[in-house]
Amino acid sequence: MRRKDREMSREFGVEVIDKSIYGIISMIDEDNELYGIPLSIVRNENTLYFHSAKEGRKVKIFGENPKVSVAFVGETKIPENYTKDELDEIVKDESKTVLLISSVFTTEYESAVVKGKVKLVEDEEEKIKAMKLICEKYIPTKMDYFPMAIKSGLKRANIYRIEIEEITAKRKKYDIHGKEMKWGRIDG
């Protein structure tokens, strides 16, 4: 990671994974071509789960090269570190224009990247557990109907797991005074 001052802990990365709406899984196909797609992913301890169709490009790639990277994006926003009057003053002094780049034309963000290997889940009990976790995350108000849905849906989908080998996390965030919170500063 180039910006070590923005690196965050593994625990922070886990929080980003858990609150992310989706993860973008990246892989390399048999022609050495990159392929990435967004997926609905859930984490259970040190394992990520997702489902897919039984056939398709990613299914074929997983069989040939199970190494993947999954990127998750948490909260993002454009910071408002300066008032219009303060910005009007900054642009009068060319030596201060670096503030425009670093504190105005920027984005606050949090992200996590996981490295691991994809494995098809074969055990029916683990498949049901994984699908239940996915449904609890994405459609928690419909769980009364899960038992009926899983009966017919389980045989129609592949369930995959990724054992997390590595998590890197990164964040750019400003405190209430417009100062960037570097490594170790969680609140401001």
List domains and CATH numbers for the chain: 4-78+107-172 (2.30.110.10)
N- to C-terminal Cα distance for the chain?
24
* C-beta of residue 15 within 8 angstroms of C-beta of residue 57: no
Query: pLDDT by residue (tens digit) across 50-86?
Result: 999 999 999 999 999 999 999 999 999 988 888 899 8
pLDDT for residue 179: 81
The model's pTM is: 0.87
Confidence band (pLDDT; 50, 70, 90) for 97?
A: confident
CA separation for the pair 158, 3 (Å, rounded):
38
- Is residue 174 a contact partner of residue 103, using CB atoms and an 8 Å limit? yes
Nearest Cα to Cα of residue 164 among 26, 44, 64, 47: 47
